[in-house]
Amino acid sequence: MNNAEALSAAVDPRRRLRRRHRNERLFRTLGVLALCFGASALATLLYAVVAPGLAAFWRTTVTLEIHLNPQILDITTDPGAEMLARANYYGALKQALYSAFPEVHRRSDKRRLVKLLSPGAEAQLRDYVLAHPGAIGRSITLEVTASSDLDQIHKGAAARDVAQNLRRLDDRQLAWYDQLQAAGRVHSRFNWNFFTAADSRSPEMAGIGGALVGSFYSLLVCFALAFPLGVSAAVYLEEFAPENRFTNFIEANINNLAAVPSIIFGLLGLAVILNVFGLPRGTPLVGGVVLSLMTLPTIIIACRAALKSVPPSIREAAFGMGASPMQVVLHHVLPAALPGTLTGTIIGLAQALGETAPLLMIGMVAFIADIPATPLDPSASMPVQIYLWAQSAERGFVEKTAAAIMVIILFLVLMNILAVFLRSRLERRW
User: Residue 29 and residue 237: Cα distance in Å, rounded?
Assistant: 45
Residues 115 and 73: their CA atoms lie apart, in Å, by 20
Distance set, CA 342 to CA 158, 215, 216, 385, 427 (Å)? 47, 20, 18, 28, 11
Structure confidence at residue 185 (pLDDT): 93
pLDDT for 195 equals 93
* Sign of the alpha-carbon dihedral angle for 208, 369, 187, 130: negative
Contact 93, 144 (CB under 8 A): yes
Measure the CA–CA gap between 364 and 214, rounded to whole angstroms: 9
Residues whose CB falls within 8 Å of the CB of residue 168, separated by 6 or more in sequence, listed in order: 149, 152, 158, 395
In degrees rounded to 5, what are phi and psi of residue 251? Answer: -60, -40
Could you give the maximum distance between any two Cα atoms of the chain, in Å?
Answer: 119
Nearest alpha carbon to residue 430 among 317, 309, 344, 327: 309
- How would you class 152 by CB atoms within 10 Å of its CB: exposed for 0-12, middle for 13-18, buried for 19 or more? buried
pLDDT at 116 (0 to 100): 93
What is the distance of C-alpha 160 from the center of its chain?
32
In contact, 207 and 196? CB cutoff 8 Å:
yes
Q: What is d(CA 151, CA 206) in angstroms, rounded to the nearest whole number?
A: 13
Q: Judging by DSSP bridges, how do beta strands 139-145 and 186-190 pair with one another?
A: unpaired
pLDDT of residue 118: 92
Report d(CA 12, CA 78) in Å as an integer: 105
- Asked if 283 and 215 touch (Cβ cutoff 8 Å), the reply is no
pTM of the full predicted structure?
Answer: 0.87
CA distances from 20 to 6, 17, 23, 25 (A): 19, 5, 5, 9
pLDDT of residue 145: 94
Residue ranges and CATH numbers for the domains of the chain are 55-191 (no CATH), 209-426 (1.10.3720.10)
CA 198/CA 209 separation, integer angstroms: 5
Nearest 5°: the CA angle 48, 51, 53 is 100
CB 230 within 8 A of CB 345: yes
Q: Give dist(CA 207, CA 227) in Å, integer.
A: 31
Q: Are 258 and 297 in contact, with CB atoms under 8 Å apart?
A: yes
Phi, psi of 92 (to 5 degrees): -65, -40
Q: How many helices (H) and strands (E) does the chain have?
A: 21, 3
Q: Would you state the pLDDT for residue 4?
A: 58
DSSP assignment letter at 238: I
Question: What does the pLDDT profile of the chain (430 residues) look like in tens digits?
Answer: 556 555 555 556 778 888 888 889 999 999 999 999 999 999 998 898 898 899 999 999 999 999 998 889 888 877 788 888 889 999 999 999 999 999 988 899 999 999 999 999 999 999 999 999 888 889 999 999 999 999 999 998 888 888 888 888 889 999 999 999 999 999 999 999 999 998 988 999 999 999 999 999 999 999 999 999 999 999 999 888 888 888 888 888 888 888 888 888 888 888 888 888 888 888 999 999 999 999 999 999 999 999 998 888 888 888 888 888 888 888 888 888 888 888 889 988 988 998 888 888 888 888 888 899 999 999 889 999 999 998 887 888 999 999 999 999 999 899 888 888 887 777 766 5
DSSP state of 279: P
